[in-house]
Chains A and B, each alone.
Chain A
Amino acid sequence: MISVAYIGCGAVVQRSHLPALKLVDDFQPIAFVDHNQGRLQALAQEYPNAISTLDTAQAIEVADLIVIATPSGSHYKLAVEALMAGKHVLVEKPLALSQSQSAEMVRLAEEKDRLLAVSLVRRFMPQNRLFKDLVGMGVVGEIQSVVVSEGSVFNWPVQSVDFYDPELSGGGVLLDNGAHLLDLVLWWLGSTSLQSYFDDSQGGVEAECRVEMSMDGGANVVVEMSRLRKLSNKIEIEGDKGSLAMDLATGQITLRARDAQQFFQGGVDSSIAALTTIDLFASQYKGILQAISSKSLSSSNIVKGKESVASVSLIEQCYDIRQLLETRVM
């Protein structure tokens, strides 16, 4: 039985981690750390055998696996503390705020021979895996342009004002949604170089952003994200032999040959595509179990820390070269 300590017990822990853990044997919540007393009391009632505490060190000491789900700005410090104590660590996305922090965490995990995983569960969605295979097969020929757009009116149950504090949260939609979306884009396309970045922050955390990159072959990649409006929620890749698109919400994939009719529209089986977030988190816990049991600390159902360093670095670079996104109509 692997004992788990949760540091930060907000919405993602209550909506995804804990329900997923109920679907997987071999894990036992043993400690909860949060600054919100009401939340701790509720968890203490539901999990009477676990300790609820404000003391991070105490929680780290008693558990095998430490799940870090605090605001992004504290991931690095807490992960280092847990790894130094010789514990396995699962960090909510993003892994950290900078390339140097991420690299240090990865180095420490290797040195201590402990698992460092990051909760990038969208990589486990079957449609995203199929899309990666299709891109890898070169079905559109040489890629000429990529447009990715993801946005909807924000409705995540934010539980702390820290969410809007750039110092504590580390950023807005780029860091929060981009941790997933840019990770997927880099996973699908391979390396890219950042050209420019725009967002609408005026001293707070951005709600809209636009990332402009180029691929090694010269193709332009544009990624737009929004917390204020519904965007097309698609990735569209144009190549010299055709185009490939996926609806990010439904997982439907469309492949068209250049100058020809559409010749494929479909996706993974709808029962698989309909996997819930809880199912994905449950797969991740199974992956953690496999990884911890193996010498290589690997599994196809986890994303190891070092695999997410590139997207963390991209986000860091974006903020470094940030320009104001003019929103005339706001």
Chain B
Amino acid sequence: MVDSNLRKNIVVLGGAGSIGSRLVHSLVSHGHQVTVVVRSLSSAVRIGRLAITIEQLDLSSAEPLQLKALFDNQDIVIDCSYCTGTDRDAVVEESRLVANLIMQAADAAKVEHVIHFGTISVYPNNGGVVCESTSCDYSGEVYGDGKLAAEQVFLDDNLYSSSVTVLQLPIVFGPFMNWTISVVNELSHGGLIMPEVTQGHCSPIFVDDVVKATETVLTRPFQGKQKILLSDVPVPWSEFYLAHAKLLSKSRLQLIDRKEFFESLEREERKEQPFNRLKREFSDDGDFRQLILSQFGIRTIYRLFKRHRGQAEIDKLKSSIAGPSSIKVTKALMSKNRVQLFDTLPKIQSDKAKSILDFTPTKFNVAIQHTGAWLEWARMVDSS
């Protein structure tokens, strides 16, 4: 609990997300008055347990006055929101619009400080070294470009007067984090094969360290605009995966020589996968299926099959399409896209988080232990 004179009225935008929920929980436990703005009420179930005010608002279609009314009498705005979509230009446009909306409302309501969660993805993905002064440019990648468009609005001294801190986050892992869930999913169902060496850098940060850094910003008076890159001590990607694999009841990770990995990947690509065969069988069977495919896509159809027919029948179907070998549970090769991403992520070299926020990250092995306890609680540890 913070001293009563340090207690703030805080509005958290996108506070039902994976990082936002954890942050909101911590802010409430420290005695702050929190209002959370969410797009989808269904996702607010984690924070719905707390004594907070929940408001439903889609920022992309909100009116300036609506947001200003929410910001009135608030000391701090924390923006964990981001725009989603597949059309890069639309996401950039919407990100810029929402950032302007937030800053206009913050200025009008005279909030003390806006904290925005940015990302390392705004920096060049060339496996090099980055710090806050590294120049950023649009890359064509949807998420990074959307976040960059927003960041440029938040950090522009000439546009708005409210003080802003942009906390740029690398890979965030831990309880409820998508990175942890996706890695555990990759390691499940037979396990994963990945190259023991990747060329890019992995700078994972534990979610509670993001929360801690955000709460430190609240306690440091600041005027102006600043951005701070948060990072932990880098670990190789193979170690990041291995640490997660060890949390599962059996080791599910096989690290192999990089050259051997790519050769296996090539061999695999030449084979027709059951999924592709299913797609072909559907596509070859008349106009109706073609129409359904064009409307919904094979993945949706596959998911519907799975939901309505159950896994056993899907396995039978796979078996009939691709032969019995297709249902053998074997380790899967890491996807090419994933390896390409890991080969290009930059190394973070910045001491700003340490000097400004006295940021000391949790030791990686300790953070992994906490993550393991959560996986066990969430019953994601596969005992088979």
A and B from one complex:
yes
Q: Is A202 an interface residue (CB 8 A)?
A: yes
* Contact among B41, B49, B51 with A158 in the assembled complex (CB-CB below 8 Å): B41
The closest CB in chain A to the CB of B375 belongs to A329
A158 to B51 Cα, complex, angstroms: 19
B88: interface (CB < 8 Å): no
Of A21-29, A103-111, A226-234, A301-309, the stretch lying at the interface with chain B is A226-234
| Residue of B42, B46, B310 with most chain A CB atoms under a 10 A cut-off | B42
* Identity of the chain B residue whose Cβ is nearest the Cβ of A327 in the assembled complex: B377
B41 engages A204 (CB within 8 Å): no
Residues of A close to B374: CB separation below 8 A: 329
Instruction: Say whether B49 contacts A207, CB under 8 Å.
Output: yes
Whether a CB of chain B sits under 8 angstroms from the CB of A172 is yes
Decide: A202 and B50 in contact? CB cutoff 8 A.
yes
A260 at the interface (CB under 8 A from B): no
* Cross-interface CB contact of A154 among B28, B45, B50, B51, cutoff 8 Å: B45
B28 with A229: CB separation less than 8 A? no
Which secondary structure dominates chain B's binding surface?
helix
Does B306 make an interface contact (CB < 8 A)? no
Which A residues are CB-close (under 8 A) to B300?
none
The answer to whether B42 and A161 touch across the interface, beta carbons within 8 angstroms, is: no
B219 adjacent to chain A (CB < 8 Å): no
Q: Contact residue range for chain A? A: 20 to 34
A157, closest chain B residue (CB):
B42
Contact flag A200-B49 (CB < 8 Å), given A329-B370, A330-B25: yes
A229 with B47: in contact, given A154-B42, A161-B41, A329-B175 (CB under 8 Å)?
no
Q: Residues of B contacting A157 with CB < 8 Å? A: 42
B49 partner, pick from A202, A230, A231, A329, beta carbons under 8 A: A202
Which residues of B (63-109) have their CB < 8 Å from a CB of A?
A: none
A250 to B307, CA, bound (A): 12
A319 within 8 A of B: no
B166 to chain A, nearest CB (A): 28
For the residues of A in contact with B, the DSSP-based class is loop
Which of chain B's residues have a CB closer than 8 A to the CB of A203? Answer: 49-52
Tell me, yes or no, whether A261 is within 8 Å of chain B by CB. Answer: no
Residues of A within 8 A of B45 (CB): 154, 207, 227-228
- Given A327-B377, A329-B370, answer yes or no on A172-B48 (Cβ-Cβ < 8 Å): yes
Q: B377 contacts A205, CB within 8 Å?
A: no
B291 proximal to A (CB < 8 A):
no
Complex CA gap A200/B47 in Å reads 11
A204 touches B377 (CB 8 A): no
| B373 contacts partner chain A, Cβ-Cβ < 8 Å | yes
| Complex interface residues of chain A between 195 and 239 (CB less than 8 A to chain B) | 200-207, 227-232
With A and B bound together, what is the CA distance between A157 and B44 in angstroms? 11
- A-chain residues with CB within 8 Å of residue B25 when the two chains form the complex: 330
| A294 part of interface (Cβ distance < 8 Å) | no
Q: Does B379 contact A (CB under 8 A)?
A: yes
Nearest CB on B from A174, distance (A): 12
Instruction: Please determine whether B377 and A206 come into contact, CB atoms closer than 8 angstroms.
Output: no
- In the complex, A200→B376 CA distance in Å? 18
- Tell me if B260 counts as interface (CB < 8 A to partner A): no
Which residues of A lie under 8 Å from residue B56 when comparing CB positions? 161
| A window 132-184: CB within 8 A of B | 154-161, 163-164, 172
Contact indicator B42/A204 (Cβ below 8 Å):
no
The CB with the most chain B CB atoms within 10 A, among A157, A161, A229, is that of A161
Please name all residues of chain B whose beta carbon is closer than 8 Å to the beta carbon of A204 when the two chains form the complex: 47-52
> How long is the Cα–Cα vector from A5 to B191 in the complex, in angstroms?
54
Q: Is the CB of A329 within 8 A of B41?
A: no
- CB proximity of A251 to chain B, nearest CB, Å: 12
Complex CA distance for A17 and B374, rounded to whole angstroms: 38
A231 vs B378: C-alpha distance when bound (angstroms)? 8
Given A202-B28, A231-B379, A328-B373, check contact A156 B42 (CB 8 Å). Answer: yes
- Per the bound structure, the CA–CA distance linking A154 and B54 in Å amounts to 17
Most chain B beta-carbon neighbours within 10 Å: one of A163, A164, A201, A203: A164
Q: How many whole Å from B211's CB to the nearest CB in chain A?
A: 13
Are the C-beta atoms of B41 and A160 separated by less than 8 Å? yes
CA distance A159 to B377 in the complex (A): 29
B239 at the interface (CB under 8 A from A): no
Instruction: Report the bound CA distance from A227 to B48 in whole Å.
Output: 11
Which residue, of A201, A205, A328, A330, has the highest number of chain B Cβ atoms within 10 A?
Answer: A330
B41 touches A206 (CB 8 A): no
Known: A161-B54, A230-B379, A330-B25. A201 touches B42 (CB 8 A): no
Q: How far is the CA of A147 from the CA of B44 in the complex (A)?
A: 28
Measured CA separation A104–B25 after assembly (Å): 40
If A204-B51, A207-B45, A229-B377 are given as contacts, then 6 extra A-B residue pairs at C-beta distance below 8 Å, sorted by A number, are: A154-B45, A158-B44, A172-B48, A204-B50, A229-B379, A330-B175
Q: Report 7 cross-chain contacts, Cβ distance below 8 Å, ordered by A residue.
A: A154-B42, A161-B41, A172-B48, A172-B49, A201-B49, A202-B51, A230-B379
